[in-house]
Chain A
Amino acid sequence: EAAVTQSPRNKVTVTGGNVTLSCRQTNSHNYMYWYRQDTGHGLRLIHYSYGAGNLQIGDVPDGYKATRTTQEDFFLLLELASPSQTSLYFCASSEPGAYAEQFFGPGTRLTVL
């Protein structure tokens, strides 16, 4: 079965701190995604990528950078974390195409104090 792993699972930082969230997929999927999940807002797309070196902007990109270093690895960077970025972050991967299922990781809970 497809596998998406995320690290760390929990992270606490202070306002202004730097945070890197990591995601690795072993599905050989081209597409990878970063979402944040907040109560009342469902899943909101931050950034996504269709291959190593590629980055596409999602719906809520402000305050976030991302980098896809290999087909397997996708990183989300918060360079000056703010309390508004306290959230549950999910990574996902999928095949290309309009009918492709997305496979999600277990999530990273980030708290910015």
Chain B
Amino acid sequence: QQKVQQSPESLSVPEGGMASLNCTSSDRNFQYFWWYRQHSGEGPKALMSIFSDGDKKEGRFTAHLNKASLHVSLHIRDSQPSDSALYFCAAQNNNRIFFGDGTQLVVKP
């Protein structure tokens, strides 16, 4: 069973719109959650992390964690074409990290 599941598989939003990405883990031992972003032709790069219940905001990006439901989300406000990328949710425990399959985000001008 996959430990980290993401939805949707793909998402298209207009420029200036709000993009919402979802992630659910299956293991209550996970201590830390990440969002990684991968632009075409590049390696993934960490976007932000969250380990406490509630919201964490960094600029246009807000991550939300609900430990009770093992649900993590990422919301991108005022989406820009440069936000178009593959977004991975990841859950971490000790030195093992598990990635979801990713959400492909397309922001249309």
Tell me the A residues contacting B by CB distance below 8 Å: 4, 31, 40-45, 48, 50, 90, 92, 94, 96-107
In the complex, what's the smallest C-beta–C-beta distance from A93 to chain B, in angstroms? 11
What would 5 A/B residue contacts be, using CB atoms closer than 8 Å?
A50-B95, A99-B32, A105-B43, A106-B42, A106-B43
Tell me the B residues contacting A by CB distance below 8 Å: 31-32, 34, 42-46, 49, 51, 88, 92-97, 99-102
Task: Kindly state the separation between the CA atoms of A43 and B34 in the bound complex, as whole angstroms.
Answer: 14
Cβ-neighbour of A99 out of B42, B45, B49, B102 (below 8 A): B49
Task: Kindly state the separation between the CA atoms of A102 and B98 in the bound complex, as whole angstroms.
Answer: 12
In the complex formed, the residue of B with least CB distance to A33 is B97
In the complex formed, the residue of B with least CB distance to A56 is B95
In the complex, what's the smallest C-beta–C-beta distance from A43 to chain B, in angstroms? 4
